[in-house]
Every structure is written in C-alpha cells, then in structure tokens.
C-alpha cells in the first residue's frame, strides 16, 4: 500500500483554499499544492505528480469537471484518487461526478479536523479497488 | 214474338189461385232445366195420337209459357199474353179451339195471324193434387180440326203422366240430396265404415277407414290388398283369412259382433279394431249388401296392457321391497298381517294380534273411510278388478301416514260371495310428501307470478275480454282485478290514437281491415309472440311506456282460447337511457371543449377521436394527428413503461393509471405531460376504448428545473462561506494553529457550534425539500447491517467523546439488508447524536440490534430524561423539539426525526420509540432481512 503524500487542491475561494490547506498540511501532515484555478492546476500538476486530485466543482472559467478532463490529457488520471469537494450534492449531481471519473465526494462544509482522515479513508478504498 | 195493344186485350185472365199456383210451379224446380227423355216421349206420343204436327209440355210462368218438352216447334217460350195455354189452365178439362181464325178470342193473335198460322189447339191442364194447373200438355195444328173421344182420353192420361213425371222427378232430386248428405255424414264418422254389394264387392269406404287401410280398398284389386294393408287376428300373430273377415262372414250368414282384428297398413301405426257387421237391406227388407263398422280400440288395449304391466311390476316390487301384506277373512273380520304392515303404522306385529276389521277402520283417517269402504264394496261386487285405495292411517305416535293398499278377493263361496281378500300395503308418505312439495312449488310459482310486481300479466279470452289481471298489472295500471276481469278489454288502458295508428299499419300490411282488439293479437293468432312498445293510460290518467309481449293461448287440441300479454314498465329504463344520452352529450361537449388534451383510443392503440386542445398541444391539425400513431409521438424512453401499464389495465389488474410521459411535438420539441388513462368497458366487462387525458406540464417542468438550479445554487452559495467559517473555526478550536487563550475559547466554541448548526440546518432543509418533493433518490445495495453499525459507531465517537458519552454496541447476529447505506448512516448518526445530546455527561448509549421474525430491529438506547408525555404525539413532526430553550442549547433543527422516519419508511422499514420519563428512551427501527 502506497503511503499518501501529495494532494493537488484546486479551489477558487481563497478562504477555503487556506482552511483546507491548513487542515491537510497541519492536521493531516500531507503535502498540498493549492491552485486557485484549473488553468494553474494544468500548469503545475505534472511537476507536482499528485496522488490525489481534490477539485472544487463550481469555478469561474474552467470548472472542476473541465479541469479533470484537461488533466487527463497530461496525467495518468486513472492512477490518481479523484475527489470532488463541493456543496452541490444533490444525488444527480453526485452521480454526474462519479460518472466522469470521480472516486468520491467531500461535502462542503467539511470538518477541517477530520478532512485528512476522510481523504485517507478514500485513498485506502481507492487503492483496494485498484488492487482488486 | 211481336206484341201490340190488341194482343194484350185478348189476353186470358189470371186464375183465382195464381200466386199459390206460381209457388207450386216454382217448387217443382223444373223451369229452364234441360230437356228430359220422359217428357219428350210424351209429346211425341201426343202428336202421334192426335195427328197434330206440334205437341208441347208448356208451363205457364208469371209472364211467359216455357216448354219443358216440344215437338214440331223451335221456340222455347212465348209471352204469356198470347198463349193459348194461359186460357187452358183456367179450367180442369181439355181446352179445345177448333178454328182460331174464327174464334174472337184468338183471331187477332199473332200466333194465328203470323207465320205460325195456328188454327187448331187442344190443351189438357197439368193439374197437381192440390188442383193447381202447372201448364198444359197441348197439341197444335195449322188446319182447323177436332179431337175424337179416344184422342181426348189419351190427352188426359198423358197429361196425368206428365204431372206424375214432374212430381217424381222432384222426389228423386230430394232423395238424391238426402243421400248426398248421408254420404258426407258417413264420410266423416269417427268410426270406420265399409259397405259391399251382395256379391261382396266393396262399394263405399269412408274417410277414416281409408286412412286406417292406407288406401281406398275399393279402388284396387283384391289381390293387391296385401301390398297396402294386412289384417290379423286380435293377437296380432295370425293373418286373417278372407273368409274370416267380418264382411265375408256376414255375407255368409254369420252374426258378426265385437270381432277384434288388427290392421297393419303402410305408413300407419298398427291398429286394433272392434268390428260389427250386418246386412244392408232395402226398403222392402231385401238384402242388398253388407256393412262393417270398425272402432279403433288400440288406446284401450294399450291402457289395459299398461295396467297388466303395472301389476307385474308391483309383484316384483313386493318381493324386492318390504311391502306390508294383509289377508282378511270377510266372514269373521279376522286379519293376518306381516311385520312390515305393522311397522308402517309404528307397531310390532304381536301388538296387533287381536286386530280385526272394525278396529282397523278406527285407524283410517275419517275423511278416507267412506271412500275406502266404497272401493271395497265395488271390488266385492265385481265392478273393480282390484281393491286399490290410497288413504291415511293413524300411526302409533298419533300422526297419519299415507298408505297404498292393493288387494283382491281370492276365495269365493259356492254362491259367489267373497270369502277372503288379500293384498299389499305400501308406505307412500314420502311420495305424498313429494307431491305436496311439487304442489307447494307450483303454488309458490303462482305466488311469484302474482307477486311479480314489476311485470303486468293480463290474459284475455279470444274476444279480448280480460280473464286474468295480476297484481303487477294492478300496480302498474291502478285498476283492480275485480274491476277488470270479465268486464273490460285492454282497450281501456291503451291510447286510442296509438291503437288506430297500429291498426292502420296492420291493415295496409295485410291488405284488409284490422281494428279493435285484433290490432293487438292479429300477428300472434297462429303462434309466436309480438313484442312492441305501447303507451298505457293508467287509471289516474298518467301515461306509462311499456314493452308488451303478446302471445296466443291454445288448448290442448290447439283451439285458440285467448291471449296473454306481459308488459314491463319502461319508464325508468327510458329515463335511464335519456340520462345516459345526456351524459354522453355532456361528455362529448366536455371532450371537445376541454382545455386539456383528450383523446379516445381504441384498445389496439389507434385514435378514435382527439380534441382541439390535444391537436394544439402537439402542433398538428386534427386530420394530421389522426393519421399519426400515438407511439410515434411518444419519447422513445417512455414507451415501455406506458405499454406495461396498458397491459395491466387490459388485464384488469388496474382500472386506470397516471404517469409522467414525454412526447415530441410537430417541431420536434419535447413536451412533458401527465398522462391519465382509464379504460372504458362495456356492460359485459369487455374493454371498449381508452379515455386519455394529457396535461401539458412542460412549463411546470421548466419551473421545476429552475427551482432545482436555485436550490443548488443557494445551497452552494450558502455553504461556500460556511465552509470557510466552520473550517477556520474548526482549525482554531482544534488547536491546529496553536494554543487558544482561555478567554477566547468559549466564544470560539459558540461560533464553531453555530457554524455547524447552520450547516446542519442547510443540510436538513435540503433533505426535507427532496423528501417532500419525492426527489430523494435511493441507491439500494445489499449490505451487512453489522458493518454499517460499526461504521456509524466510529463516526459518532468523535461526537460523543467531548460529551464524555460511551457508545456500546450490543448484538452480533449477521443481517443482510437492502438499503441505501448512506441514508441509513444518516439515520444512525441522527439517532445516535440525539441520544448523546440528551444523555447526562458520562452516561452510556447502547447501539443494539437483534433479529425479530423476518426483520432486524436496531435500537439506540439512552439514559436521558425521557421524552415528556406532552411531546410524544408530535415527535415525528417537522420542527419539533421538546423544549425550545434546551433544544437550542442541544443544537438541531427539529427536522432530524422527521427525516429519519421518511428515510426508514422509504427503505421499507418502520420506526418508533419507547420512553419512560426519567428512565431514558429507546428509539428503534426495523428493516426487512433478506
């Protein structure tokens, strides 16, 4: 089982970016690359080589799903744990996320103290599903 | 012959008895009849004897003389005014005119002056016994002359001969008439009749005899008879020789009385004949032939045969059944009986050892005793072959039993007196009971007819007079049977105009005048039933529409004895039809004018009719739409579900259904509709057609999409800042950013809790909104409940820890269930957080599960204060919390339990609780185990 280290977080809201960043780094002891847009994520993703793609859904210009689609062009996305972090969690919305390749959804608002644990849990499941 | 005034002046006066004379003449029925030999002979003789060229038998009618016989003259009659004979009949002697030209009575007579030029005339009146002169026998010559004595006497005799001939002729005619009617009488006798001449040749066979022989034996040769019929002796075994037939026997001089023989003829049933034959004699008593009279006694023989059969059967039955037997000494009255006899009336045989006739008669029902005695006497006198009696006997227990006694005298004294009689006895109570039941059933049927309040039954005689008027008729028409029967005809309750109208129709149909009572029955006289609608006029003047069926009543022999009319009141039915018509019209109007799209669809899926609104909805004209299949208009994904429902409807599983369905309009745009379908069945339950109603909810759908977007946006927009706030507070309070000064800790905690509460509130509101709209989707999975419970426990530990609550799991039984794991988790965390919230610090919350029948029951048990009595009724209602102030301090929206209830029920489970104030609460839910 590969240890989880690097999380690419794409979020246009700076407050949330900051809170999530602290929650993952300080509480979860993870290495986080916070991007303020999909464009920025595309620029930095390859160099960072993330294990997890944590994407906000609603973003100006390029939204979460579009970013994921673009990332597929440059990354082996299938080997990454893809999670959408969003407040838009009506069932059909969740189905949509899963349909385009997300492994799970982190619901906003999230508990900063357990956020890292939630992601670790998904990581464990993701790795198991791939091994299976 | 020419007539002139002079002639009339010379006419003879009328005899004093002229009217009676004419009547007598007419009674001879001879005027204008053809010539007859006997009269012709007489005039020839008269002419020869007198040497006159002309001789006549002239009959003097009212205004003419008519010649029954003539010689030497062509004319058949002359006017009476110029007739010499008119003079001759005034006297009783020969009337002689020697020279007419010199006789002033005749000199100007055209018969004298004309071509005929009569000079001599001698006429002898033809006198009847009553003295009427019918006319004359006369001779005429063109030369004057005179008869000598011999000639005069000859004329007198010949005239008498003429009268005799005329009267004998009449007698003969009359005799022929009588004989003719006698023949026709014999012809139609119910008995067969055959006559022969004295030689034995068959002369006459009447119609019934011809029928029995299958042919008229007189018309064929005797040798051919066996081809058509054969005669046998009464046993039917021995062919009857000609010598033994009744007619031959009679002609041989034997007396033939009650000879029985059998006729077997082609195409006829075998007949047993009783024959009596005798000579035919003329008026002088001379034998002229023979006659045989035959009577068909086949039916009598069959009847007596059947009695014989019956007796044979009885004896068999006697042996087979335990029939009672009895024997009676008619001299002493002593009786001998068997066990069964005693048993029938409830006794043992030894109890009846002293029984005699006198005692026996005391047990016979008083009403039957006289009949019983009479039957016995008749049998003893030999008038009845059997003592055959059905009577009632008193049973030992006091009731009466019906018995059938059959007996016969078997010992006679030397002087012919009956000594002993013996017989059998059958218990026929059960049979009598059945008869009584049949009778009672018949009565019952009669009562039903009487009680048939809805049906009027009226019978009439052949002339239309009412003979039966049942209670239904009384009720329908308001007349009483008493006033109608034997007094009125149906005309009294019919509309005269209607009857006239019908009479006209019938008259023109049958081309003859039909009216009155015949109007009702004309078509049924020869059978069949005529049913039609009539208007009845009730006693109170009100009118009723009825359906009347008329049929003829015939006697056994087919004779018409009357008519039967049965009618039913159609008023209510017509009203129902009218109201049905109105409702159809109403439906049609509603259909056409409906704002919503409506259609009638055949069971095979083809349009029957569409309304304007539907055409408008789909954007087609009516003509276009009727050509397009409904399936083509349906959005393909929605087709199957609809078809399934159609099948269920046709199968009768459901009578109607409603579904959301998408259609494609003429422009290819999507239409969202709510389709309501009901199936119309006919009175026998067969599907007729579907009624479709399609409500266009496209606009509504659009609104809904907008609302969904709004809710999604709002929740997102609210949650985004909330995420930052609660996240930041969480980090601060969680000590991630370093130690928090004590003075701030409480305030931060307040902020953090309320941020969480706001978040929960938003979540609950969204859930609630989804549940209410039926939009919460469940993704069912087969899972192990214990895993879900363990997971919930772990999730809740971080919540419980700060409250110093321990959550303990109880129960290990595996239970596979089908649920949406996320939603079940939501229920568990809700119930567990409630339990933690309402438990005192340091308390224990139990999470327990166990199997109960086919369900698994999950309990969350706290040690809190329990739910106040006053709150229990509202516990699963929205926005309810036991105490607003404590509720707020505990956090929560008041929606949690409502959502739990909805979620559990949507996952096919149930939820409830038990609570004792001060002793804690147990919330439980049950879910079906797979």
% of chain A at pLDDT higher than 90: 75
Q: Are B155 and B124 in contact (CB under 8 A)?
A: yes
**Closest residue to B716, CB basis, from A15, A88, A111:** A88
Quick one: pLDDT at residue B884?
A: 43
**Closest residue to A20, CB basis, from B727, B736, B777:** B727
What CATH number does the domain containing A59 carry? 3.40.50.2300
Position B302 pLDDT exceeds 80: no
Output the six-digit token pair for A125.
Answer: 């499941």
Domain match, B753 and B802 both: no
Domain match, B431 and B463 both: no
What distance in Å separates residue A42's CA from the closest CA in chain B? Answer: 24
Q: For B398-446, how does the pLDDT look when each residue is reduced to its tens digit (9 = 90+)?
A: 888 888 888 888 888 888 788 888 887 878 877 777 777 666 555 554 5
Indicate the pairing of strand B806-810 with strand B844-852.
Answer: parallel
**Closest residue to B730, CB basis, from A15, A92, A112:** A112
Contacts with B736 from chain A: Cβ below 8 Å = 22-23, 26-27, 112-113
Mean pLDDT on B91-117? 90
For residue B825, being part of any structural domain is answered with yes
Record: contact A108-B708, CB cut-off 8 A = no
What rounded mean pLDDT belongs to chain A?
Answer: 91
Record: contact A87-B716, CB cut-off 8 A = yes
Domain match, B540 and B607 both: no
What distance in Å separates residue A98's CA from the closest CA in chain B? Answer: 13
Secondary structure tally for chain A: helices H, strands E: 5, 5
Domain count for chain A, please give it.
1
Q: Are B609 and B595 in contact (CB under 8 A)?
A: no
Quick one: pLDDT at residue B234?
A: 82
For residue A1, being part of any structural domain is answered with no
Domain match, B163 and B194 both: no
Q: For B885-895, how does the pLDDT look when each residue is reduced to its tens digit (9 = 90+)?
A: 443 345 555 67
Contacts with A86 from chain B: Cβ below 8 Å = 716
For residue B870, being part of any structural domain is answered with yes
Record: contact B723-A19, CB cut-off 8 A = yes
Asked if B486 has any chain A CB less than 8 Å from its own CB, the reply is no
Q: Which residues contact B119 (CB under 8 A, 6 or more apart)?
A: B99, B100, B101, B112, B141, B142, B143, B144, B145
For residue B758, being part of any structural domain is answered with yes
Position B7 pLDDT exceeds 50: no
Domain match, B604 and B709 both: no
**Closest residue to A108, CB basis, from B723, B730, B734:** B723
Quick one: pLDDT at residue B885?
A: 42
Query: B218 by DSSP, 3-state: which?
Result: helix
For residue B320, being part of any structural domain is answered with yes
Q: What is the ipTM of this complex?
A: 0.83
Which range has the worst mean pLDDT, A54-63, B266-275, B764-773?
B764-773
Quick one: pLDDT at residue B893?
A: 57
Quick one: pLDDT at residue B1?
A: 39
What domain range includes position A90?
6-131
The residue from B696, B721, B751 where one domain ends is B696
Domain match, B222 and B119 both: no
What rounded mean pLDDT belongs to chain B?
Answer: 83
Which range has the worst mean pLDDT, B306-310, B615-619, B657-661?
B306-310
What domain range includes position B856?
777-928
Per-residue exposure over B782-793, b if at least 16 CB sit within 10 Å of its own CB, e if not: ebebbebbeebb
Record: contact A109-B712, CB cut-off 8 A = no
Position A77 pLDDT exceeds 70: yes
Q: For A112-130, how does the pLDDT look when each residue is reduced to its tens digit (9 = 90+)?
A: 889 999 999 999 999 998 8
**Closest residue to B726, CB basis, from A87, A92, A109:** A109
Rounded Cα distance, B778 and B817, in Å? 14
Output the six-digit token pair for B90.
Answer: 């005034």
Contacts with B795 from chain A: Cβ below 8 Å = none
Contacts with A111 from chain B: Cβ below 8 Å = 726, 730
Quick one: pLDDT at residue B923?
A: 94
Q: For B108-161, how does the pLDDT look when each residue is reduced to its tens digit (9 = 90+)?
A: 888 899 888 999 999 999 998 888 999 999 999 999 999 999 999 989 999 999
Position B5 pLDDT exceeds 70: no
Q: Are B95 and B159 in contact (CB under 8 A)?
A: no
Residue to mutate among A109, A115, A118, A125, with most B CBs inside 10 A, is A109
Q: For B34-77, how does the pLDDT look when each residue is reduced to its tens digit (9 = 90+)?
A: 998 889 999 998 999 999 999 999 999 999 999 999 999 888 99
Which range has the worst mean pLDDT, B200-204, B424-428, B461-465?
B424-428
Quick one: pLDDT at residue B4?
A: 42
Rounded Cα distance, B280 and B200, in Å? 12
Residue B710: closest C-alpha in chain A: A88
Helix (H) or strand (E) holding B686: none
Torsion of CA B52, B54, B57, B61, to 10 degrees: -130
What CATH number does the domain containing B490 carry? 3.30.450.20
Quick one: pLDDT at residue A17?
A: 92
> B858 falls in which pLDDT band (50, 70, 90)?
very high
Domain match, B113 and B169 both: yes
Position B307 pLDDT exceeds 70: no
Contacts with A22 from chain B: Cβ below 8 Å = 731, 736-737
Contacts with B723 from chain A: Cβ below 8 Å = 13, 15-16, 19, 87, 108-110
Asked if B718 has any chain A CB less than 8 Å from its own CB, the reply is yes
Domain count for chain B, please give it.
7
Output the six-digit token pair for A38.
Answer: 């999909």
What distance in Å separates residue B930's CA from the closest CA in chain A? Answer: 26
For residue B58, being part of any structural domain is answered with yes
For residue B580, being part of any structural domain is answered with no
Contacts with B825 from chain A: Cβ below 8 Å = none
Contacts with A110 from chain B: Cβ below 8 Å = 723, 727
Helix (H) or strand (E) holding B391: strand B387-394
Record: contact B777-A86, CB cut-off 8 A = no
Position B2 pLDDT exceeds 50: no
Position B449 pLDDT exceeds 70: no
The residue from B383, B407, B435 where one domain ends is B435
Q: For B627-665, how does the pLDDT look when each residue is reduced to its tens digit (9 = 90+)?
A: 888 888 888 888 888 888 888 888 888 888 888 888 998
Quick one: pLDDT at residue B454?
A: 66
Position B702 pLDDT exceeds 60: yes
**Closest residue to A111, CB basis, from B721, B730, B779:** B730
Quick one: pLDDT at residue B177?
A: 66
Position B469 pLDDT exceeds 90: no
Position B682 pLDDT exceeds 90: no
What distance in Å separates residue A80's CA from the closest CA in chain B? Answer: 24
Domain match, B47 and B152 both: yes
Position B16 pLDDT exceeds 50: yes
Q: For B558-569, how does the pLDDT look when each residue is reduced to its tens digit (9 = 90+)?
A: 678 888 888 888
Domain match, B39 and B166 both: yes
The residue from B514, B544, B574 where one domain ends is B574
Record: contact B770-A90, CB cut-off 8 A = yes
**Closest residue to A16, CB basis, from B718, B727, B779:** B727
Record: contact B731-A110, CB cut-off 8 A = no
Indicate the pairing of strand A104-107 with strand A81-86.
Answer: parallel
Domain match, B803 and B872 both: yes
Rounded Cα distance, B618 and B666, in Å? 6
For residue A123, being part of any structural domain is answered with yes
Of residues B244, B259, B254, the one with CA closest to residue B279: B254
For residue A66, being part of any structural domain is answered with yes
What distance in Å separates residue A89's CA from the closest CA in chain B? Answer: 8
What distance in Å separates residue A93's CA from the closest CA in chain B? Answer: 9
Query: B275 by DSSP, 3-state: which?
Result: strand
Domain match, B691 and B559 both: no
**Closest residue to A16, CB basis, from B711, B723, B737:** B723
What CATH number does the domain containing B65 carry? 3.30.450.40
Domain match, B760 and B794 both: no
Position B195 pLDDT exceeds 90: no
For residue B456, being part of any structural domain is answered with yes
Q: Which of residues 786-825 of B touch A (CB under 8 A)?
A: 798
Q: For B764-819, how does the pLDDT look when each residue is reduced to its tens digit (9 = 90+)?
A: 777 777 776 666 778 889 999 998 998 888 878 877 888 889 999 998 888 999 99
Helix/strand/coil (H/E/C) assignment for every residue in B306-373 = HHHHHHHHHHHHHHHCCCEEEEEECCCCEEEECHHHHHHCCCCHHHHCCCEHHHHHHHECHHHHHHHH
Q: How many CB atoms are located within 10 Å of the residue B98 CB? A: 14
> B313 falls in which pLDDT band (50, 70, 90)?
low
Rounded Cα distance, B611 and B302, in Å? 80
Quick one: pLDDT at residue B839?
A: 87
Rounded Cα distance, B441 and B500, in Å? 42
For residue B443, being part of any structural domain is answered with no
């Amino acid at each position: 089982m590969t240890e989880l280290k690097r999380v690419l977080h794409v979020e246009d809201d700076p407050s949330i970016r900051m809170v999530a960043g602290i929650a993952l780094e300080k509480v979860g002891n993870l290495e986080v690359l916070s991007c303020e847009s999909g464009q920025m994520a595309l620029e930095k993703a390859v160099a960072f080589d993330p294990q997890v793609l944590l994407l906000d859904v609603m973003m100006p210009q390029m939204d979460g799903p579009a970013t994921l689609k673009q990332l597929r062009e440059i990354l082996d996305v299938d080997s990454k744990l893809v999670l959408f972090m969003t407040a838009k969690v009506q069932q059909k919305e969740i189905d949509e996320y899963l349909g385009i390749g997300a492994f799970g959804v982190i619901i906003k608002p999230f508990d900063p103290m357990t956020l890292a644990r939630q992601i670790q849990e998904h990581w464990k499941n993701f790795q198991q599903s791939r091994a299976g | 012959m020419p007539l002139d005034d002079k002639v009339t002046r010379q006419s003879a006066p009328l005899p004093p008895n002229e009217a009676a004379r004419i009547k007598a003449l007419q009674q001879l029925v001879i005027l204008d009849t053809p010539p007859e030999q006997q009269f012709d002979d007489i005039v020839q003789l008269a002419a020869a004897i007198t040497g006159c060229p002309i001789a006549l038998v002239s009959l003097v009618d009212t205004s003419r003389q008519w010649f029954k016989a003539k010689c030497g003259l062509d004319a058949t009659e002359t006017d009476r005014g110029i007739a010499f004979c008119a003079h001759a009949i005034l006297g009783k002697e020969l009337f002689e005119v020697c020279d007419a030209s010199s006789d002033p009575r005749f000199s100007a007579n055209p018969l004298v002056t004309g071509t005929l030029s009569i000079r001599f005339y001698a006429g002898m009146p033809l006198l009847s016994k009553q003295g009427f002169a019918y006319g004359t026998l006369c001779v005429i010559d063109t030369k004057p002359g005179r008869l000598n004595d011999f000639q005069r006497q000859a004329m007198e005799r010949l005239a008498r001969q003429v009268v005799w001939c005329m009267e004998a002729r009449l007698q003969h005619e009359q005799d022929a008439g009588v004989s003719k009617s006698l023949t026709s009488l014999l012809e139609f006798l119910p008995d067969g009749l055959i006559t022969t001449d004295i030689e034995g040749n068959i002369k006459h066979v009447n119609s019934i005899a011809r029928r029995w022989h299958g042919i008229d034996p007189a018309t064929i040769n005797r040798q051919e008879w066996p081809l058509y019929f054969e005669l046998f002796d009464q046993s039917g075994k021995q062919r009857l020789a000609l010598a033994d037939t009744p007619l031959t026997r009679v002609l041989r001089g034997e007396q033939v009385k009650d000879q029985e023989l059998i006729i077997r003829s082609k195409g006829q049933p075998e007949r047993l004949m009783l024959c009596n034959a005798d000579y035919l004699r003329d008026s002088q008593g001379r034998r002229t032939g023979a006659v045989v009279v035959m009577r068909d006694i086949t039916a009598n023989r069959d009847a007596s045969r059947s009695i014989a059969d019956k007796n044979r059967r009885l004896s068999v039955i006697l042996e087979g059944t335990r029939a009672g037997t009895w024997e009676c000494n008619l001299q002493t009255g002593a009786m001998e009986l068997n066990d069964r006899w005693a048993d029938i009336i409830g006794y043992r045989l030894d109890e009846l050892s002293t029984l005699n006739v006198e005692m026996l008669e005391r047990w016979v029902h008083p009403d039957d005793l006289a009949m019983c005695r009479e039957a016995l006497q008749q049998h003893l006198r030999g008038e009845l072959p059997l003592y055959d009696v059905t009577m009632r006997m008193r049973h030992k227990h006091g009731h009466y039993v019906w018995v059938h006694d059959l007996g016969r005298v078997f010992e006679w004294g030397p002087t012919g007196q009956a000594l002993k009689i013996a017989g059998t006895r059958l218990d026929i109570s059960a049979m009598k009971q059945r008869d009584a039941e049949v009778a009672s059933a018949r009565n019952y049927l009669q009562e039903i007819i009487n009680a048939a309040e809805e049906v009027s039954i009226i019978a009439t005689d052949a002339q239309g007079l009412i003979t039966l008027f049942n209670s239904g008729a009384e009720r329908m028409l308001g007349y009483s049977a008493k006033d109608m029967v034997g007094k009125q005809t149906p005309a009294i309750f019919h509309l005269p105009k209607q009857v006239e109208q019908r009479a006209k129709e019938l008259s023109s149909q049958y081309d003859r005048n039909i009216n009155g009572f015949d109007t009702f029955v004309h078509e049924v006289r020869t059978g069949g039933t005529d049913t039609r609608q009539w208007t009845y006029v009730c006693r109170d003047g009100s009118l009723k529409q009825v359906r009347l069926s008329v049929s003829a009543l015939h006697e056994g022999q087919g004779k018409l004895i009357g008519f039967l009319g049965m009618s039913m009141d159609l008023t209510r039915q017509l009203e129902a039809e009218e109201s049905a018509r109105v409702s159809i019209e109403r439906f049609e109007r509603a259909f056409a004018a409906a704002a919503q799209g409506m259609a009638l669809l055949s069971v095979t899926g083809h349009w029957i009719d569409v309304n304007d609104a539907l055409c408008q909805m789909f954007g087609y004209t009516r003509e276009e739409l009727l050509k397009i299949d409904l399936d083509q208009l349906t959005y393909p994904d929605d087709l199957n579900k609809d078809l399934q429902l159609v099948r269920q409807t046709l199968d009768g599983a459901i009578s109607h259904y409603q579904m959301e369905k998408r259609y494609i309009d003429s422009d290819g745009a999507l239409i969202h509709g709510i389709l309501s379908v009901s199936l119309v069945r006919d009175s026998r339950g067969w599907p007729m057609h579907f009624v479709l109603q399609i409500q266009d909810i496209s606009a509504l759908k659009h609104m809904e999409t907008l609302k969904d977007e709004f809710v999604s946006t709002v929740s997102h927009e609210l949650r985004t800042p909330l995420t930052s706030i609660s996240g930041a507070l969480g980090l601060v309070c969680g000590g991630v950013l370093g130690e928090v000064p004590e003075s701030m800790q409480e305030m931060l905690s307040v902020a953090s809790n309320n941020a969480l509460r706001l978040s929960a509130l938003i979540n609950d509101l969204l859930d609630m909104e989804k549940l209410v709209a039926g939009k919460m989707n469940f993704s069912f999975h087969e899972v192990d409940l214990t895993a879900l419970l363990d997971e919930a426990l772990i999730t809740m530990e971080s919540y419980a820890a700060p409250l110093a609550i321990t959550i303990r799991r109880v129960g290990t039984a595996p239970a596979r269930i089908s649920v949406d794991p996320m939603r079940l988790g939501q229920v568990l965390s809700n119930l567990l957080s409630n339990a933690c919230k309402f438990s005192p610090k340091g308390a224990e919350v139990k999470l327990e599960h166990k199997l109960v029948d086919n369900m698994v029951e999950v309990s969350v048990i706290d040690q809190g204060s329990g739910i106040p009595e006053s709150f229990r009724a509202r516990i699963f209602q929205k926005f309810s919390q036991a105490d607003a102030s404590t509720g707020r301090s505990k956090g929560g929206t008041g929606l949690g339990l409502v959502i739990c209830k909805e979620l559990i029920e949507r996952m096919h489970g149930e939820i409830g609780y038990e609570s004792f104030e001060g002793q804690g609460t147990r919330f439980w839910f049950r879910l079906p185990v797979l």
